[in-house]
Amino acid sequence: MNQQEIQTLRTLMEYEASRSAPPKGFPELPDIPAGRYTDPRFFELEKEHIWRKSWLFAAHIDEIPQPGCWRLWENAGQPVIIVHANDGRVNAFYNTCSHRGAPIVTEQSGQRSRLVCKYHGWTYSHSGDLLAVRDPEDFVNLDKSCRGLTPVRCERFGNLIFVNFDANADSLMQWLGPVADEWEEFQFGNCRLAARHIWDLNCNWKIAMEANAEVYHVRSIHPRTVAPILDDRRNVNTLYPQGHGRMVAPRPQTAEDPGDLLTQRSPWVEMETVGEIARTCTQSYGIFPNWVSPLSQWTIPPLLFWPNGINKCRLETWTLAPDWGDGIKPDLWTQNDGEALSPVLLEDTEFGEWIQKSVESYGFKGVPLSYQEARIYHWNQFADKMIGAENIPEGLAVEQVIGNDWMYPNDPRVALAKA
């Protein structure tokens, strides 16, 4: 982030603290329909259009460090095998043999020079080519060149591996857009996998994720953990194309040094390249559809939210960090290496099950969102763009009210702040 951008953010923080109403011209946000959390038709639309067409964070290169290493990945409901090929590339395929659909692998991870089907032994390369078939003379006109494993799009951002089930999707870099540039200072190509854990939650995946998409809840939910280090009145939200968003909030001005949540966990290795904003503020990115990650000089710690049915979900907590050598391995999100969620995440998840009961009740009609919660509305707008308005049953769509004029790089608040 350059000096100009830092200055603009600082100006916007003061603007946010001083305003007595939402910025002039910011649209009134219509209620989010209740059925988006409970209607099986909407859940199916999410499957078909969001999970099938978005770039999804699936693995870290440390999980498949050598050629021949693979891991099974089923978080998005599809059986996928991610393979580190001999040529150094990372490839993904459906874990589905081209013969009769048996799995190529049934363990979570492993290493093999060839991928061999468990059922009748068809053998594939790391690039998915069908190399050998047992008793080939008994097949009539079997063209091996058309019977390879079915590929899944797979691209890397540094050491992070993303997949996309849409063969025609834009590249991952296009998907990330301006965020990719902003992330350069965090050295995604150097980060190692420090921790990865899975937590089952009893609520719709969006209920869990939205708890991490606004700071409006901080004073109620986190009075002793987050509130002392985050000035929610000075929070600046930025809306990016593709439904992505960012929050940046400085430390409270009045507080004596309250002891930072993160610094208390030192000594973690620092990334020298990380700039002033990430060092002095709480900064967090939401990447459509299911990634939320605060970024600092110590860690890249994405939270991923995966549906597990309409009223259940999985929270995946990751911590990526610069090589810690013999030092302490960072894990931002859990206590005792995955024994329990961290205090902050226990707070963030405590109402999920209660909210699920509410949204399923006759009493729940919809969600009115404030300007502070605009990132949630922005996410929903983009979700509908992916689904296609014509595919959404009556009463379940959100209106497209936040125009491009409020989306990065446009920001009418800059002029309002100077006025």
Site of interaction with ligand FES (CB under 6 A): 97, 99-100, 102, 117, 119-122
For residues 287 and 55, what is the distance between their CA atoms, to the nearest angstrom?
A: 9
* Minimum distance, C-beta of residue 119 to ligand FES, in the bound complex (Å): 4
The partner in contact with residue 169, picked from Fe ion, ligand FES, none with C-beta cut-offs of 5 to 8 angstroms by kind, is: none
Q: Which is nearer to ligand FES, 132 or 173 (CB)?
A: 132
For residues 132 and 99, what is the distance between their CA atoms, to the nearest angstrom?
A: 12
Question: Amino acid identity, residue 240?
Answer: Y
The partner in contact with residue 279, picked from ligand FES, Fe ion, none with C-beta cut-offs of 5 to 8 angstroms by kind, is: none
* Minimum distance, C-beta of residue 95 to ligand FES, in the bound complex (Å): 11
* Minimum distance, C-beta of residue 252 to Fe ion, in the bound complex (Å): 16
* Minimum distance, C-beta of residue 347 to Fe ion, in the bound complex (Å): 6
For residues 186 and 295, what is the distance between their CA atoms, to the nearest angstrom?
A: 8
Site string for Fe ion, 188-227 (x = CB under 5 A): ----------------------------------------
Tokens of 71: 């891991």
Q: Which is nearer to ligand FES, 130 or 179 (CB)?
A: 130
For residues 104 and 117, what is the distance between their CA atoms, to the nearest angstrom?
A: 4
Q: By three-state DSSP, how is residue 120 classified?
A: coil
- Contacts (CB under 5 A) with Fe ion, residues 398-417: none
The partner in contact with residue 285, picked from ligand FES, Fe ion, none with C-beta cut-offs of 5 to 8 angstroms by kind, is: none
**Among 374, 379, 382, 383, which residue's Cα sits nearest to residue 411?**
374
Q: What are phi and psi of 207, to 5 degrees?
A: -65, -45
Mark 65-86 as b/e (b = at least 16 C-beta within 10 Å): eeebbbbbbebbebbbbbbbbe
Q: Which is nearer to Fe ion, 331 or 348 (CB)?
A: 348
The partner in contact with residue 97, picked from Fe ion, ligand FES, none with C-beta cut-offs of 5 to 8 angstroms by kind, is: ligand FES
- Contacts (CB under 5 A) with Fe ion, residues 321-350: 348
Q: Which is nearer to Fe ion, 9 or 249 (CB)?
A: 249
Using only C-alpha atoms, what is the Rg of the chain?
23
Q: Which residues contact 354 (CB under 8 A, 6 or more apart)?
A: none
* Minimum distance, C-beta of residue 134 to ligand FES, in the bound complex (Å): 7
Q: Which is nearer to ligand FES, 33 or 128 (CB)?
A: 128
Q: Which is nearer to ligand FES, 119 or 354 (CB)?
A: 119
For residues 231 and 17, what is the distance between their CA atoms, to the nearest angstrom?
A: 9
Q: Which is nearer to Fe ion, 35 or 245 (CB)?
A: 245
Q: Are 194 and 261 in contact (CB under 8 A)?
A: no
The partner in contact with residue 50, picked from Fe ion, ligand FES, none with C-beta cut-offs of 5 to 8 angstroms by kind, is: none
The partner in contact with residue 348, picked from Fe ion, ligand FES, none with C-beta cut-offs of 5 to 8 angstroms by kind, is: Fe ion
Q: Are 399 and 30 in contact (CB under 8 A)?
A: yes
The partner in contact with residue 385, picked from ligand FES, Fe ion, none with C-beta cut-offs of 5 to 8 angstroms by kind, is: none
Tokens of 407: 């989306």
Could you list the beta-strand ranges (E) of 302-377. 303-307, 313-321, 334-335, 340-341, 366-367
Q: What angle do CA 348, 35, 170 make, to 5 degrees?
A: 75
Beta partners for residue 284, in sequence order: 247, 294
The partner in contact with residue 416, picked from ligand FES, Fe ion, none with C-beta cut-offs of 5 to 8 angstroms by kind, is: none
The partner in contact with residue 120, picked from ligand FES, Fe ion, none with C-beta cut-offs of 5 to 8 angstroms by kind, is: ligand FES
For residues 176 and 210, what is the distance between their CA atoms, to the nearest angstrom?
A: 20
Site string for Fe ion, 347-386 (x = CB under 5 A): -x--------------------------------------
For residues 337 and 116, what is the distance between their CA atoms, to the nearest angstrom?
A: 34
Q: Which is nearer to ligand FES, 148 or 177 (CB)?
A: 148
Q: Which is nearer to Fe ion, 154 or 247 (CB)?
A: 247
* Minimum distance, C-beta of residue 103 to ligand FES, in the bound complex (Å): 8
Strand order in the sheet with 130-132: 115-116, 123-124, 130-132
Question: Any idea how long the chain is?
Answer: 419
Q: Which is nearer to Fe ion, 45 or 230 (CB)?
A: 230
Residue nearest to Fe ion (CB): 348
Where on the chain is the footprint of Fe ion (CB under 5 A)?
348
